[in-house]
Copies of this chain bind each other. A is one copy, B any other.
């Protein structure tokens, strides 16, 4: 990795879906479009091993040969997210079970429980077989392990395998059942256990289970994903030095991506801006309507910055980039002309090495037959292809992956997502929503942002750090906060890792005498007003202590308290109040900000400032005029 990393385009390709005589033409056309990388194999288990133990790799050998001969670099995927039907004959109990107790059957994909030891071993075995065969193949430039862990809500499984594994996990974590009873407060409602074997999974209880029980199950479930993943990592590491990748799905938060990311070289994710806007984002109808054909202006950037943090040394890709209408959202409009280019450039501006389109040619069959590709099912070019080609030309003039550390950081923590999903206290309170609001507020002030894990212990490079909603603040991060200007809260460091309330109560910040003595969740439409500035909505806290009140509501109640560079925020601000807070904090730490026009965003690399117009009308800024869906950049 001494040579500087280069920007490149890729594409997802399924040779097994097409007659072999199309492959060479496809490969040539990819190359001619400026595509460098091609991902294959991740759904093809039934073609690699049509019967248990009978391997048929000849077609794959030929596909690799054809693609590599055309000059393409190959990412080879392990096909473990799609076990063939015969696997169920070996492991009839390998299927996951949903929270309502229903087995999740064969007939689509991801039909396995992460806790099933037999299937885990079988997954490692196919990875081993592939590693042995292709681990030293010079055409295989990277490996993808499984695909989209957790997609379709597959992390939390209530199977018998999960129940037994959970009991083992608890025994390891707590040592004795008394320790567990104490940690969870099981004396409440006489929920005390006499042995680990009595602890069931926390589903189908009469009313909600103990939050500590539920959070433990979530921690366990994440750990099971990591353990499942490691079995494949170990299998492949024995055979190859090529980088390992896992391909994450947007807003899948049920396992700890940082933990999975530890063992691989590259983090990749799947960017479907229009699908996400329709399906995975809380927003007003007006917002959803405004960005119907563009996607939310911050959702992709947030994930880009997140996966830059997940990837080792900041290496990350977009493995699947939406190239046109998709099939899976409630509504599936087409991108505005220009958006495919915009999305691609935005990823590069955030440091992506590769942006890979999903998929080369739209499949004429099965679940995703209405999912666009760069080509239509009849092999004609779809509109996305020309935009990809334009980017290919453009990156050849600006080839280097260029990242510089941002001035601002945002701490992101998966266990906090689980904690507040377990104990929202107010309908609609989500950690992700709070994080995205904070991130959006930074972006609307024109700032580039680094996302950091809660294990971060050095913030010295940052001028401003935001820590909203971090359930439990690690000591290392607490110490690091002293190195910078920091805005912590709301709902930060208010519970222990067991999801109980500590004494003294939070947030327990160094040098800041404030205690959150009461919290309130507010119904839609209710809020506390900061006259002339904005409101707190959803969530508001009562702050007590001697710290200086630096923001208060109309009744004089403290909303922000500060001591030096450290502030605590006691509520969930609306956009206007967020903007005030960010502008103010930035000013205090010497960061220049501007209010960006609606829909316009910018991002700085080492060498350029990029502008992205998510609006459907032209936009003027910094002396530039960007058309609808336009991208611009200036050297800095």
Q: Which A positions have Cβ atoms within 8 angstroms of B?
A: 14, 16-17, 43-47, 50-51, 79, 82-86, 96, 100-111, 151-152, 154, 184-194, 198, 200, 202-213, 278, 285, 288-289, 292, 324-325, 327, 330-334, 362-370, 372, 376-380, 382-383, 423, 425-427, 498, 500-505, 515, 517-523, 525-526, 542
* Minimum distance in angstroms from A549 CB to a CB of chain B: 19
Q: Is the Cβ of A211 less than 8 Å from the Cβ of B85?
A: no
Residue in B110, B370, B426 whose beta carbon sits within 8 Å of that of A425 in the complex: B370
Q: Is the Cβ of A518 less than 8 Å from the Cβ of B382?
A: yes
Q: Is the Cβ of A364 less than 8 Å from the Cβ of B104?
A: no
Q: Is the Cβ of A333 less than 8 Å from the Cβ of B520?
A: yes
Q: A328 vs B520: C-alpha distance in the bound complex, in angstroms?
A: 12
Give the residue among A14, A100, A501 with the most B Cβ atoms within 10 A: A501
Q: Is the Cβ of A332 less than 8 Å from the Cβ of B525?
A: no
Q: Which residues of B contact A427 (CB under 8 A)?
A: 330-331
Q: Is the Cβ of B108 less than 8 Å from the Cβ of A367?
A: no
Q: Given A206-B111, A330-B427, A333-B521, verify A185-B104 contact (CB < 8 Å).
A: no
Residue in B206, B212, B379 whose beta carbon sits within 8 Å of that of A365 in the complex: B212
Q: Is the Cβ of A426 less than 8 Å from the Cβ of B330?
A: yes
Q: Given A331-B523, A366-B211, A370-B423, verify A190-B44 contact (CB < 8 Å).
A: yes
Q: Which residues of B contact A500 (CB under 8 A)?
A: 364-366, 369
Q: A84 vs B500: C-alpha distance in the bound complex, in angstroms?
A: 22
Give the residue among A191, A198, A423 with the most B Cβ atoms within 10 A: A191
20 pairs from A and B in contact (CB 8 Å cutoff): A44-B187, A50-B192, A104-B204, A108-B189, A110-B207, A185-B369, A189-B366, A207-B367, A208-B367, A210-B365, A212-B365, A278-B523, A289-B526, A325-B518, A325-B520, A334-B518, A364-B500, A364-B502, A369-B501, A376-B518
* Minimum distance in angstroms from A338 CB to a CB of chain B: 14
6 extra A-B contacts, CB within 8 A, seeds A47-B187, A331-B521: A17-B187, A46-B192, A84-B190, A106-B200, A212-B366, A365-B500
Give the residue among A107, A425, A505 with the most B Cβ atoms within 10 A: A107
Q: Is the Cβ of A185 less than 8 Å from the Cβ of B85?
A: no
Q: A380 vs B501: C-alpha distance in the bound complex, in angstroms?
A: 14
* Minimum distance in angstroms from A632 CB to a CB of chain B: 24
Q: Is the Cβ of B367 less than 8 Å from the Cβ of A210?
A: yes
Q: Is the Cβ of A46 less than 8 Å from the Cβ of B191?
A: yes
Q: A202 vs B372: C-alpha distance in the bound complex, in angstroms?
A: 24
Q: Is the Cβ of A526 less than 8 Å from the Cβ of B292?
A: yes
Q: Is the Cβ of A366 less than 8 Å from the Cβ of B184?
A: yes
3 tightest Cβ-Cβ pairs between the two chains A and B: A185-B365, A188-B366, A46-B190
